[in-house]
Amino acid sequence: MLHGSGPGTTGSGAWASTAQALGASWHLVAPDQAGFGRTPVPAGFRSGLRLWTEQAASLMDALGFEHYAVVGHSMGGAVALSLAAARPQQVTHVVAVSTMGAPGAPLSADLDALWAAPAGPLGARDMLSRLVLDQALVTDQAVEARAVAMRAGAAAFASLFPPPRARWVEDLTLSAQTLAAIRAPVLLVHGAQDRVTPLGTAAQPLLEHLADVRLHVFGRCGHVPAIEHPHEFRQLLSCFLSQGRGH
């Protein structure tokens, strides 16, 4: 389970509630990708997509998993698709949630602002308000927790997406050739009101490039379906991952 790119994001923070609900049925791995949480950015950092793909593949090799599904949110969705193309014999299913990676997708104003959000309560509140449609979810408790996480990871995060930021969207873009190499079934999950990675430029173009793909759109939903529609999201995830489960 691969998290997104917002400052202060971690594997456990992104997937805790989903993992708690599904952990009895699945063996879940939710790492902090390089530059997030306590995972450092290696010297000579150039391409996030290549780094995060190699990290995920190496982690699963080290853990001894010969076959596995991969779930990714936003930036993590692009990494999940990249991993499926790089490891077609290992990856059995892909779930790309509010994903990046589509050819030609532009840098949205909200993603630009999200990557630029300053560490602290004001930056945390602004970022969280852009992620969800229902602003009631932007509670003081959520803001404080994200502000603490943003401060803790500020130094590493500063090296990941410095301006001009359109180049980092391009780095996370997968070519038509790479997408065509994905053999695993892919489930795209997206919010109809996602402003960070809009449905029309992020998910819909992927339908033309993936061999085995389906798209589920949540109405009244922004960038984080796992938080905005948690019960339906978990049911959708579990049902899709259970199909053909025999490895």
Question: Which listed residue (82, 194, 209, 229) is catalytic?
Answer: 194
> DSSP class of residue 2?
B
Residue 224 and residue 133: Cα distance in Å, rounded?
9
b/e code 155-180 from CB counts within 10 Å (16+ = b): ebbeebbeeebeebbebbbbeeebbe
- Type and span of the H or E element at 176: helix 176-180
CB distance 230 to 18 below 8 Å: yes
- Is 98 in the active site? no
- Quote the distance between the C-alpha of residue 208 and its chain's center: 21
Question: One of 3, 209, 223, 229 is an active-site residue; which one?
Answer: 223
**Does residue 74 have an active-site annotation?**
yes
The one catalytic residue in 74, 82, 98, 108 is 74
CA 46/CA 126 separation, integer angstroms? 28
The Cα 192–Cα 98 span in angstroms is 10
Q: Give catalytic status of residue 223 as yes or no.
A: yes
Instruction: Please list, in sequence order, all residues whose beta carbon lies within 8 angstroms of the beta carbon of residue 44, skipping any fewer than 6 positions away.
Output: none
DSSP state of 41: P
Active site residues: 74, 194, 223
